Amino acid sequence: MNSRLVIFLSGTVLALAACGKHEATGNAANDVNMSATADTGTVSNGEAPLPSSAQGFANAAAASDRFEIESSKLATTAASSAAVKSFAVKMIAAHTASTAKLKATAGGLSPAITPDDTLSPEQQSALDSLKGPTGADFDSAYAAAQVDAHQKALDALNNYAASGDNQALKDFAKGMVPTVVAHLNMANGLK
């Protein structure tokens, strides 16, 4: 796995995870930064560890989706570019669907897991930073945040698919990779 991919995954979940809550189960992801939870996974770049437990990954994935949805809602009103607004609408729909699929997968586990979508401090800061700018300034900041979040999500997905502790969630992660790669490519096209 290349270092850029590893960096992205760690940041995410942050995206996914990146969600800042400590896990309460032994099964133990935050944003695709996959936030700093009690889960100790692979450390990619000195940032937050990538989640390797089922609960940690589910949290990171949920947080990542929440960040994408919330930041894209901002883009539907603050962006000046039609391309950015169109991308934002697609992200809201795609990440809402991803959350539903994650919840269905996690709920079907034995024991069931409930993903926690609390944003990591990094995700919350990135979201807050998008609340000020408008127009072209917003477009640029949003595009950069989308590239970062999707890279982190991709890293988290690839990491969990390779070394996660639950086969159903590993399959979920592996299945989401092509979608996140497509989103990352689209986000890079916004710059």
Give the span between the Cα atoms of 168 and 92, in whole angstroms: 24
Q: What is the pLDDT of residue 52?
A: 78
pLDDT digits (tens, 9 = 90+) for 167-183: 999 999 999 999 999 99
Handedness of CA 119, 62, 103, 89 (dihedral sign): positive
pLDDT in tens, 94-117: 999 999 999 999 999 999 999 999
C-alpha to C-alpha distance for 76 and 1, rounded to whole angstroms:
35
Residue-level pLDDT at 48 = 57
**Residue 40's pLDDT band (cuts 50, 70, 90):** very low
Fold adopted by 3-190: Ferritin (1.20.1260)
The pLDDT tens digits of the residues spanning 115-170 come to 999 999 999 999 999 999 989 999 999 999 999 999 999 999 999 999 999 999 99
If DSSP states are collapsed to H, E and C, what string results for the chain?
A: CCHHHHHHHHHEECCCCCCCCCCCCCCCCCCEEECCCCCCCCECCCCCECCCCHHHHHHHHHHHHHHHHHHHHHHHHHECCHHHHHHHHHHHHHHHHHHHHHHHHHHCCCCCCCCCCCCCHHHHHHHHHCCCCCHHHHHHHHHHHHHHHHHHHHHHHHHHHHHCCCHHHHHHHHHHHHHHHHHHHHHHHHC
Q: Is the pLDDT of residue 23 over 50?
A: no
Q: What is the pLDDT of residue 120?
A: 95
Half-sphere exposure of 189 (CA within 13 A, CB side): 10
Q: Which residues, 6 or more positions from 160, have their beta carbon under 8 angstroms from its beta carbon?
A: 29, 50, 51, 52, 57, 169, 170, 173
Say yes or no to pLDDT of 185 above 60: yes
Mean pLDDT of 28-40: 34
| Whether residue 90 has pLDDT greater than 80 | yes
User: Which has more pLDDT, 80 or 6?
Assistant: 80
Cα–Cα distance measured from residue 41 to residue 135, given in angstroms and rounded to the nearest whole number: 39
Please state, for a pLDDT cut of 70, what percent of the chain lies above it: 74
The pLDDT, as a whole number, for residue 47 is 52
Kindly list the domain boundaries of the chain, sorted by start residue: 3-190
Judge whether residue 12 has pLDDT over 60. Answer: no
CA 175 – CA 20 distance, rounded (Å): 25
